[in-house]
Structure 1
Amino acid sequence: MDVGAQVTARIHRPDPPATGAWREGDPVGERRFADVGDLPLQLGGTLPQVRLAFQTWGTLAPDGGNAVLVEHALTGDAHVTGAAGEGHPTPGWWGTLVGPGRALDTDRWFVVAANVLGGCQGSTGPAARRPGSSRPWGSAFPRLTVADQVAAEARLADQLGVRRFAAVLGGSMGGMRSLEWAAAHPDRVGAALVLATCAASSADQIGAQSAQITAVLSDPGWHGGDYHDRPDGHGPHRGLGLARRLAHLTYRTAHELDERFGRMPQVGEDPWDPDAPGRFAVQSYLDHHAEKLVHRFDAGSYVALTDAMNTWDVGLARGGTDAALAAVTVPLVVAGVDSDRLYPLADSRRIAERAAATVGGLRTVRSPYGHDGFLLEVDQIAPLVTETLRLGSLNRG
């Protein structure tokens, strides 16, 4: 028996689903849905009958001036706050920031979060049913860009009666959408928080993310992208799990992993056993995160969204990255995490220095946790949220 088979036997988990996506007939939970029509795509073609799943908290003011849009990252969703439960496989990812008396005080603000276009928690994406068919989109799902995702969100805002968001807030992939909102719809954004992200994906980011895509596409369970209706255990869960392991190493820091795990073996296992080698603790940690993701996410969405991150450039069709940044008029609060090795602080510095609308220069979130600091360092993120909301309140257009 080879080492891979030994590890699989040792973990002994039930077969994962072909897709972890939310599907029609699953519990709705706190989701609502908006049909926003046919969407022309930046790279060509039209995506028909687009639907976005979303959640809201608070009440929209009569003048519509208290709306705030929160943008999630790659494997997040619209469930920004609230417990895990029926319809929601994970608890809110910014839960301590949203609610009465918190930085995003829902007694004052009408908070909106949508599952991104191409996602897998109720919005149109590879796992969603293709219009005119009983089958999922699968391999026929078109390529998307960040601009397409924001265009769909603008239509959602129209349906909600939101002419202008007081603020758009996002980190990582959500920070890309936050910056795109400021560039594409300056008349509809009071201020934007652009956190732990870049203005255009670098070669290093494209390389790391393309390796994750390749991991998914190389899985025999990928079936060319048409795997969604296959039985448990016959989807691309191995490739998606490998992609998650690769990604998670970019989300944390070498120092933190070494401090936390070092070369310790996983409890009850022996990595040096010549016959049945066990795992190091850090391997178990990565296995755990991979296992969680394959039960709640869709491999096709992972590929589509990662591809959109690879093609991200705020300067696309705007004369280049620096020209686009210089043209932004929406007040920006720009922050990066000092230990981030996925979106290094230099990426945030470029935005802060070249966007004339940056307020207060670059803000630095200090964290040992790397990129994940934008999720974990809530005590440092909360004042940035508060400042962005204050700027948006002052800039009422």
Structure 2
Amino acid sequence: MSEYIDQDQTGDSVSIVEKQFFSFAEPPDRLKLEGGAGIGPVTIAYETCGVLNKDKSNVILVLHALSGDSHMAGYYDPKDAKPGWWDIMVGPGKGIDTDKYFVICSNIIGSCAGSTGPTSINPETSKEYGTKFPLITIGDMVETQKTLMDHLEIKSFLSVIGGSVGGMQVLEWCVRYPGMVRSAIPLATTTRHSALAIAFNEVARQAIMADPNWNEGHYYSGKKPDMGLAIARMIGHITYLSDESMRQKFGRRLQNRSALSFKFGAEFQVESYLQYQGKKFIERFDANSFLYITKAADYFDLARQYGSGSLVKAFLKCKSKFLVVSYTSDWLYPTYQSKEMVKAMKKNNLDVSFCEIDAQWGHDAFLLPSDRLDNLIKGFLRSVFHET
């Protein structure tokens, strides 16, 4: 489940953008979640780039990964140090060309970047929800996005695009609202987690819950479980990389030393790097949100939810044209999982293109500059737009 990562800006940016908010589900008309609980009010943070055409046929929905947010491109302020998390892909003349398309990205429910989640105030207690926030699913995320689209009077998408957990949302959109999605680009994703992926998530969650400051999720008025969250981030970050990328970037090189110190601490560069990633992560993300979103990803199972165990049946009502992309070095969501969904799509006579990109950087490769991915997405969207 890929993360926001540092990256250099390339090409023209969409310049200044604004985080917007939409609230709904005011009690007693609460949002009914798949787990059976109701919640309200609900706020969704979102961002838009580009210009909506007259017949609203140029809308693209971008869906973010685990710890991403609605800030996909451009800057909130000219003084910002870096742009949105996918600025390399979204902007004038880029793969998702904002000179042609109207692009929307919303922060998922359960997150901590403007949308309702564990950090939000529970109207019944006037305190943060914490773990009183109900468990959510990928379907719940899509349902809140659908409500936002109804508010924006968007009835269909030229394309829905996302990687990792964002790719799960793409697939959910296609099977839940098949008439709305003309095309879809699921990147580095899966139709369900393997036991290995669930195992890594569980170890990360246990690291958070074992932190003495976690306090059963009600830590907002005191010390936060920063150590647990940092370790969870370190565990996750390992899964986003690859053996080759770590070998090239770090090898067994020591950090600021020419000899072993024979003390516990970050002696190797890879140790220092992981500790840095953990410390940086706690500055921008919430531990409870990490628990909720990883659990939602673990629950996701397209075949069980829509096909009574059959992935072919799950795609039965789909109408989208697909571009499925995987990466050779992605061992979190390996290529065989993408091929399984492509096979199921083709058995339903869907228009499917598949590409496995040779990349050494692991699961996070879709967030890094890539002419191959840029050209794939640009050409695919152009063909869908012309067909429309």
Counterpart residue type for residue 140 of structure 1: K
Distance across 2 between alignment mates of 1:389 and 1:64? 15
Q: How does 1:21-40 map to 2 (within 5 A)?
A: 30-37=18-25, 38-40=30-32
SS of the equivalent of 1:186 reads coil
Distance across 2 between alignment mates of 1:116 and 1:60? 22
Structure 2: gaps of 5 or more residues? 1-16
**CA positional deviation for 1:254:** 1.1
**CA positional deviation for 1:100:** 1.6
Alignment partner for residue 252 of structure 2, among 243, 256, 263? 263
Counterpart residue type for residue 42 of structure 1: E
Larger CA deviation: 126-135 vs 142-151 = 126-135
Alignment partner for residue 384 of structure 1, among 349, 364, 376? 376
Residues 278 and 376 of structure 1: is their aligned pair in 2 closer, same or farther, counting only changes over 3 Å? Answer: closer
**CA positional deviation for 1:258:** 1.6
Distance across 2 between alignment mates of 1:70 and 1:88? 22
**CA positional deviation for 1:239:** 0.7
In structure 2, the residue matched to 1:294 is 282
Alignment partner for residue 368 of structure 1, among 355, 360, 365? 360
Contact 1:191 1:392 in 2 (8 A): yes
Contact 1:81 1:92 in 2 (8 A): yes
Distance across 2 between alignment mates of 1:336 and 1:156? 29
SS of the equivalent of 2:375 reads helix
Residues 317 and 276 of structure 1: is their aligned pair in 2 closer, same or farther, counting only changes over 3 Å? Answer: closer
Q: Which whole-Å deviations, capped at 9, do the CAs of 1:1-47 have from their partners, x for residues lacking one?
A: xxxxxxxxxxxxxxxxxxxxxxxxxxxx8210011323211121212
Distance across 1 between alignment mates of 2:69 and 2:80? 9
SS of the equivalent of 1:193 reads strand
Q: How does 1:210-229 map to 2 (within 5 A)?
A: 210-229=202-221
In structure 1, the residue matched to 2:69 is 77
Distance across 1 between alignment mates of 2:56 and 2:351? 25
Cα root mean square deviation, aligned: 2.1
In structure 2, the residue matched to 1:207 is 199
Residues 361 and 107 of structure 1: is their aligned pair in 2 closer, same or farther, counting only changes over 3 Å? Answer: closer
Q: Which whole-Å deviations, capped at 9, do the CAs of 1:238-293 have from their partners, x for residues lacking one?
A: 111001111111100112112221111112585x3235655210001111111111
In structure 2, the residue matched to 1:135 is 127
SS of the equivalent of 1:227 reads coil
Contact 1:200 1:321 in 2 (8 A): no
SS of the equivalent of 1:35 reads strand
Residues 228 and 277 of structure 1: is their aligned pair in 2 closer, same or farther, counting only changes over 3 Å? Answer: closer
Q: How does 1:117-266 map to 2 (within 5 A)?
A: 117-230=109-222, 234-266=223-255
In structure 1, the residue matched to 2:305 is 317
Alignment partner for residue 346 of structure 1, among 317, 336, 352? 336
Distance across 1 between alignment mates of 2:379 and 2:289? 33
User: How many corresponding residue pairs?
Assistant: 364
Residues 104 and 207 of structure 1: is their aligned pair in 2 closer, same or farther, counting only changes over 3 Å? Answer: same
Contact 1:367 1:377 in 2 (8 A): no
Structure 1: gaps of 5 or more residues? 1-28
Counterpart residue type for residue 328 of structure 1: C
Counterpart residue type for residue 32 of structure 1: Q
Distance across 1 between alignment mates of 2:362 and 2:22? 35
Q: How does 1:45-84 map to 2 (within 5 A)?
A: 45-83=37-75
Distance across 2 between alignment mates of 1:382 and 1:275? 46
**CA positional deviation for 1:392:** 3.9
Contact 1:66 1:108 in 2 (8 A): yes
**CA positional deviation for 1:131:** 2.5
Distance across 2 between alignment mates of 1:120 and 1:32? 15
Query: Percent same amino acid among aligned pairs?
Result: 34
Larger CA deviation: 179-188 vs 361-370 = 361-370
Contact 2:18 2:76 in 1 (8 A): no
Contact 2:64 2:166 in 1 (8 A): yes
Larger CA deviation: 375-384 vs 42-51 = 375-384
**CA positional deviation for 1:384:** 2.9
In structure 2, the residue matched to 1:282 is 270
Alignment partner for residue 113 of structure 1, among 100, 105, 120? 105
Distance across 2 between alignment mates of 1:134 and 1:86? 36
Residues 392 and 150 of structure 1: is their aligned pair in 2 closer, same or farther, counting only changes over 3 Å? Answer: farther
Residues 229 and 259 of structure 1: is their aligned pair in 2 closer, same or farther, counting only changes over 3 Å? Answer: same
SS of the equivalent of 2:221 reads coil
Give TM-score scaled by structure 2 length: 0.88
Residues 86 and 223 of structure 1: is their aligned pair in 2 closer, same or farther, counting only changes over 3 Å? Answer: farther
Distance across 1 between alignment mates of 2:124 and 2:42? 13
